[in-house]
Chains A and B, each alone.
Chain A
Amino acid sequence: MTALWKNNRGLLIITAIVVVLMAGLLQSLEPKVWMSIMLSGATLAALYFLVASGLSLIFGLMDVLNFAHGVLFVLGAYVGLSTFMNPRLLFNTLPFFFVLVAAITVAQHFGRIFWRRIGTERGRRVATAALLLLAAAVLFLALRGFPIRALNAFNITAVGGAVTTAEAQEPMATMLRRVTMVLLAGLPIGLLLAPKQTKDELPLRPVWQTLLIAGVAVVIGYALLLVRDPGETFMLAMSTDVRFVLAIILGTVAGALAGVGIETALIRPFYGNPVTQLVLTLGLSIAGIDLIEAIWGEEGNPPMSPPSLFAANCRSDSLLGWFSEHCQSIDVLGRAFPTYRLFIIVVGILVFIAVGVLLRRTRIGMIIRAGVQDSEMVQALGINVRRVFTFVFALGSALAAMGGVIAAPYLGVFPAMGGIFQLQAFIAVVIGGMGSYVGAAVGTIILGLARAFGDHFVAAGINVPFLDTVIKGSPAIARASTVLIMAIVLLVKPAGIFGKKE
């Protein structure tokens, strides 16, 4: 009996929770109400999962608690929103990133020669300070007075095709000057990022690869700027479905790139120094939100209108009906449920399966699972684990950003949205067991359902048997319920449901 309990604690806990939910169904809820609560819970769970899975993988493999994960969620949401509603913003800002990447790539490649020329430690320190100043000065000159707020004002008005106005975007000549200056600012930044020691970790990329990457990035950067007017018209003429897919792709890519940037700049130099990493990601979680507010404003946006697949003003009887009608809601046991939320659930399940297949069936997945246990040993087999670290950080960041994009039509887009999701994701990961992928999924399902049922019982109250009164909880209890669940799980199983004791 004790052995059974010990070996299957995780499963038994889940079973117990399911039994309680079923009991709740039998006692006080009509099936249709129960079903819609379950679906609401699953919607939340899917979004929590997109944030929590990355957190869990990153912690499992690298022992890094990434407090900046919520920022990536918000970043994804805003990039998605801009792609969907305000392509003009993209055409006027993306070129900066492309040319910056190009310049950094080139300067980083040839930076070794630069640092080798400067023989002394003192000389290197002076050069570092000078380059930092130079980069900051050029960037400041390049971006001074950039009308980011005016560009943003088009978020709402652009729906359905906005008229190009002269105030929102600067004349092409000004923009070309700015982009070129950002290109120049990238050179000192690249030098700063170049390895300063002769014996370094990263093998030198062939020159042609560096030049190819940089060349393509420069061309794309300038091309985006030059086609900004026809490009915007073209994008706004697309169907909202296509644009939404584009929003998901761009949001996810932005998350992945930001993840690579965070890992390279803030995490990689400090492996073996977890407190520094923690403080840096914590700092970034604040500074990142400030940066997002600086670009997109503090006010926040109402929920983005869902793409037309989920927007027709009607109620479908079944999924089959929805395929032809594209209704905004669907009949579930006699109650309407928004189809877009079903889409969120489906995305959550698909991502769970896709990442699961990646972990189980691919070589890199095998390396990740091995590295979660012992990354030193993986290294000693001749595998460059640091590169896998970067990949996992990018993957986790991409998933969080994707979560932000698909949350945008459901929750709206506002700077604080990341904080909420990050906290819940942390709780889910702790419940499921830090570093366990399946644990993250189970933890998010538990939290999503707890939240949905909690909200329902706060609103409707609980009918206690043999008593006439209806007990109503306060909203605070619904919010606190997730933390209570975490406390209970940790009391029973300190490492979380699927956690391994080390």
Chain B
Amino acid sequence: MAASPSPTPTPANVLEVRDIHTDIGQFHILDGVSVDVPEGSITVLLGRNGAGKTTTLKSIIGLTPPRSGAVALRGREIQGEPAYRIAARGIGYVPEHRAIFRALSVEENLRIAERKPGDLSRRGDFIFGIFPDLKRLIKLPGGNLSGGQQQMLAVARALVPENGLLLIDEPSEGLAPVIIEQMMEAIRQLSAHTTVLLVEQNFIMASQLADRYTIIETGRSVKSGRMADLVKDEETITRYLGAA
């Protein structure tokens, strides 16, 4: 099974992940993952539980640096740099499980993400335009928010500095259907301003949002292409994603 991404004809790639291998402890988690993320797109990583989608995001941001392979942001290789420097190059990371800071207020959760003083006031209108609820909750401790609100906050936090690329890990996880609708709408809105690499188990959500996909199976990227082609390709869906 050749693991090469199909060539992307039109816009340049913001991010190119080329054949990365990542170990966590003694476990080989990624065993050849390649992903292209074209400028302005929403690209989704698909695959079963434990396939290595989350680790791919973590390898890009540098929290689990790849042992080999390359991660190129706008053509510049960034693998092996410490996470804080990779992030400062303009990558926003929204981890799974709504990793907001519970002891910090909503405002502090946003302010801590500032890279330049005043980021939040500059971008406040944009952020609260997408997540109007957060404005109302601004003084509350993050820990007091509902699951959906925490997830909104985690995404909003990644929007505070001007990030050219967002890595969003399972934004729909554990949320009620109504909230998932809101979240999808939010991601649609913000994708007008930034490129998104998404991990999403919910295939319906993924297929409605994403322009492109890459399927990861046991640590390898096995197939990628246009979402529009995938939804017609029932064989691939059944084979890699189970009954869809």
- By a beta-carbon cutoff of 8 Å, the part of chain A in contact with chain B is 199, 201, 363, 366-367, 369-370, 372-374, 376-385
B102 within 8 A of A: yes
Residue contact B103 to A380, C-beta cutoff 8 Å: no
Is A380 a contact of B61 with CB atoms below 8 Å? yes
Minimum CB distance partner of B109 in chain A: A370
A450 vs chain B, min Cβ distance (A) = 29
* Chain A: minimal CB distance from B95 (Å): 6
B residues contacting the other copy or chain, number (CB 8 A): 24
Among B27-35, B76-84, B215-223, the stretch that binds chain A is B76-84
Interface contact B101-A370, CB-CB below 8 Å: yes
Q: For window 192-215 of chain B, which residues contact chain A by CB distance below 8 Å?
A: none
Write the nearest CB–CB distance from B103 to chain A, whole angstroms: 5
A199's contact among B80, B104, B157, by CB below 8 Å, is which? B80
Cβ of B82 and Cβ of A373 under 8 Å apart?
no
CB pair A380 B95 closer than 8 Å: yes
Known contacts A201-B82, A374-B99, A374-B101; A381 and B112 CB within 8 A of each other: yes
Residues of A with C-beta under 8 A to B83: 376, 379-380
Of B82, B95, B113, which one neighbours A384 at CB under 8 angstroms? B82
CB-CB under 8 A from A382, the residues of chain B are: 84-85, 87-88, 113, 115, 161
* 5 A-B pairs with the lowest CB-CB distances in the bound complex, closest first: A382-B87, A382-B88, A370-B101, A380-B93, A379-B83
Give complex CA distance A263, B85 in Å: 22
What residues of chain A lie closer than 8 Å to B88, measured between beta carbons? Answer: 382
Residues in A with CB closer than 8 Å to B115 are: 382
B39 located at the interface, meaning its Cβ lies under 8 Å from any Cβ of chain A in the complex? no
Chain B residue with Cβ nearest A371: B101
18 intermolecular pairs with C-beta atoms under 8 Å apart? A199-B81, A201-B82, A363-B112, A369-B101, A370-B108, A373-B102, A373-B103, A377-B95, A379-B82, A379-B84, A380-B61, A380-B95, A382-B115, A382-B161, A383-B112, A384-B82, A384-B85, A385-B84
Query: Which of these, A367, A374, A380, contacts B87 with CB under 8 Å?
Result: A380
Q: Which residues of B contact A373 (CB under 8 A)?
A: 101-103
* Complex interface residues of chain B between 126 and 166 (CB less than 8 A to chain A): 157, 161
Collect the chain A residues with CB atoms within 8 Å of residue B81's CB.
199
| Complex contact B84–A370 (CB within 8 A) | no
User: Which residue of the partner chain B has the closest CB to A365?
Assistant: B108
B63 in the interface, Cβ–Cβ < 8 Å? yes
Evaluate whether A381 and B104 lie within 8 angstroms (CB atoms) in the complex, with A199-B80, A199-B81, A376-B63 already known. Answer: no
Least distance between A429 CB and chain B CB atoms (Å): 18
What's the Cα separation between A370 and B81 when bound, in Å? 22
Besides the contacts A363-B112, A376-B63, A377-B95, what 6 more A-B pairs have beta carbons closer than 8 Å?
A369-B101, A372-B103, A373-B103, A376-B83, A379-B63, A380-B83
Given A199-B81, A370-B112, check contact A379 B104 (CB 8 Å): no
Majority DSSP secondary structure for residues of B touching A:
loop
* CB-based contact B84/A384 at 8 Å: yes
Closest-by-CB residue of B relative to A380 is: B93
Q: What residues of A have a CB within 8 angstroms of the CB of B104 in the complex?
A: 366, 369-370
B111 within 8 Å of A (CB atoms) = yes
* Complex: A384 Cα to B113 Cα, angstroms: 12
Expressed in whole angstroms, the Cα–Cα distance for A385 and B62 within the complex equals 14
In angstroms, Cα B115 to Cα A367, docked, is 13
Complex CA–CA separation, A483 to B97 (angstroms): 38
- Taking a contact as CB atoms under 8 Å apart, the answer to whether A379 and B87 are in contact is yes
Q: Tell me the B31-72 residues at the A interface (CB within 8 Å).
A: 61, 63
- Kindly identify which residue among A366, A377, A379 contacts B111, using a CB–CB cutoff of 8 Å: A366
CA distance A374 to B97 in the complex (A): 12
Chain A nearest CB from B136 CB (Å) reads: 22
> A378 with B63: in contact, given A373-B102, A383-B84, A385-B84 (CB under 8 Å)?
no
CB-nearest residue of chain B to A376:
B63
Q: How far is the CA of A370 from the CA of B154 in the complex (A)?
A: 13
Mark contacts of B2-45 with chain A using CB atoms, 8 A cut-off: 1 yes-contact digit, 0 otherwise: 00000000000000000000000000000000000000000000
Chain B contacts of A372 at CB under 8 A?
Answer: 103
Identity of the chain A residue whose Cβ is nearest the Cβ of B79 in the assembled complex: A199
**Across the interface, which residues of B come within 8 angstroms of A385, CB to CB?**
84
Contacts of A377 in B (CB 8 A): 95, 99, 101
Rounded to whole Å, the gap between the CB of B36 and the closest CB of chain A is 22
The residue from A366, A374, A376, A379 contacting B108, defined by CB atoms under 8 A apart:
A366
Whole-angstrom CA separation of A366 from B142 in the bound complex:
13
Residue on B with the closest CB to A197? B80
In the complex, which residues of chain A have a beta carbon less than 8 angstroms from the beta carbon of B99? 374, 377
Residues of B within 8 A of A374 (CB): 99, 101
Minimum distance in angstroms from B8 CB to a CB of chain A: 27
**What's the least CB distance linking A432 to chain B, in Å?**
15
Is the Cβ of A366 less than 8 Å from the Cβ of B87?
no
Which of A370, A378, A385 has its CB near the most chain B CB atoms (within 10 A)? A370
A381 to chain B, nearest CB (A): 5
Which B residues lie within 8 Å of A381 (CB)?
84, 87, 93, 112-113, 157
Residues in A neighbouring B108, C-beta threshold 8 A:
366, 370
Give the residue name and chain of the B residue nearest to A378 (CB): B112
Name B103's contact: one of A201, A369, A379 (CB within 8 Å). Answer: A369
Minimum distance in angstroms from B118 CB to a CB of chain A: 12
Report A-chain residues with C-beta under 8 Å of the C-beta of B95: 377, 380
In the bound complex, do residue A366 and residue B112 qualify as a contact, i.e. CB atoms below 8 Å apart? Answer: yes
Chain A residues within an 8 Å CB radius of B63:
376, 379-380
Which residue of B has the minimal Cβ distance to A360? B108
Report A230 CB to chain B, min CB distance, Å: 46
Considering the complex, which residues of chain B in the window 106-122 have a beta carbon less than 8 Å from any beta carbon of chain A?
A: 108, 111-113, 115
Q: Please report the C-alpha to C-alpha distance between residue A373 and residue B104 in the assembled complex, in whole angstroms.
A: 10
Write the chain A residue with the least CB distance to B105. Answer: A366
B112 in complex: contacting residue of A199, A201, A367, A384, CB < 8 Å? A367
CA distance A372 to B111 in the complex (A): 17
In the complex, which residues of chain B have a beta carbon less than 8 angstroms from the beta carbon of A378? 112
How far does the alpha carbon of A201 sit from the alpha carbon of B85 in the complex, in Å?
A: 9
Measured between beta carbons, the chain A residues less than 8 angstroms from B112 are: 363, 366-367, 370, 378, 381, 383
The smallest beta-carbon distance between A3 and chain B, in angstroms, is: 16
A256 to B235, CA, bound (A): 64
Q: How far is the CA of A380 from the CA of B82 in the complex (A)?
A: 9
Chain B positions within 8 Å of A376 at CB level:
63, 83
* Closest Cβ–Cβ distance, residue B82 to chain A (whole Å): 5
